[in-house]
Amino acid sequence: MDARPVIADVQSPRRLLQSSTVYEGRVWDVVSDTFTLDDDGESLTRDYIQHPGAVAVLVMDSSDRILLIRQYRHPVRMALWEIPAGLLDVDGENFVRAASRELAEEADLTAGSWNVLVDLFLSPGSSSEALRIYLARDVAEVPLEQRHARTHEEAEIEFAWVELDEAVGAVLDGHMHSPSASAAVLAAAAARSSGYRTLRPADSPWPEHHSQHGSWPAGPVLQD
């Protein structure tokens, strides 16, 4: 009988032959890479979104309720129940600080206790976006005079404090569609049995984020 594989994703870069940016956007670019799976294999070309990565926060209050926010998302033409989240687009800002900033900007909250809840690639077949979701507790409100002025879609954000089990039901019933919120809710429900003691510290390594490792190590890259 074959040995059972270790269930752990691993880095597996392949030989990159060519890479070019085919579209430069306001937030992310589209890149076209040509590579081989092995030295003797045929070349393959894949286009994908080159994304800076993001962080998200599942906030839990002293009554073990979680905070959900509802925001309009134009590509799907829906108002979705989500959790506070944002891009890693500030140079030199560490991951926890970015999550804390997004929490303050989107929910007018601070948190005194942070843990890593779950790490994800949101759409690895079409995007390099890596997402880290934190569990934030010991929350307090940002003073009125220090609150961020939300604009555009963020100006319409609605808030709801809900029981974790209610949120789990919404995910399983198909009433919540945000991947970050769904993953966070289910991960928190799984971690609850240990009193959240099994969660990783907030400063745990995140080698999957592109800033933590080099690019393609094998073979020359032929630039356009």
Q: Where are the domains of the chain?
A: 14-50, 54-201
- Those residues with Cβ within 8 angstroms of residue 7's Cβ, 6 or more apart along the chain or in another chain: none
Residue in 154, 163, 166, 208 annotated catalytic: 154
The rounded distance, in Å, linking the Cα atoms of 181 and 80 is 10
Find, among 1, 35, 44, the residue nearest to 15 by Cα: 35
pLDDT of 14 higher than 60: yes
User: In the predicted model, what is the mean pLDDT of residues 174-190?
Assistant: 98
Fold of 54-201: Nucleoside Triphosphate Pyrophosphohydrolase (3.90.79)
Question: Cα–chain-centroid distance for residue 102?
Answer: 12
pLDDT averaged over every residue in the chain: 90
Name the helix (H) or strand (E) containing 122. Answer: none
For 79-93, 104-118, 184-198, 210-224, which range has the lowest pLDDT when averaged over its residues?
Answer: 210-224
User: In the predicted model, what is the mean pLDDT of residues 166-177?
Assistant: 98
pLDDT on residue 1: 58
Dmax (CA) of the chain: 65
For 36-40, 63-67, 172-176, which range has the lowest pLDDT when averaged over its residues?
Answer: 36-40
Other C-beta atoms within 10 Å of 135: how many? 24
Residue 149: φ, ψ to 5°? -85, 110
pLDDT of 209 higher than 80: yes
129 is catalytic: no
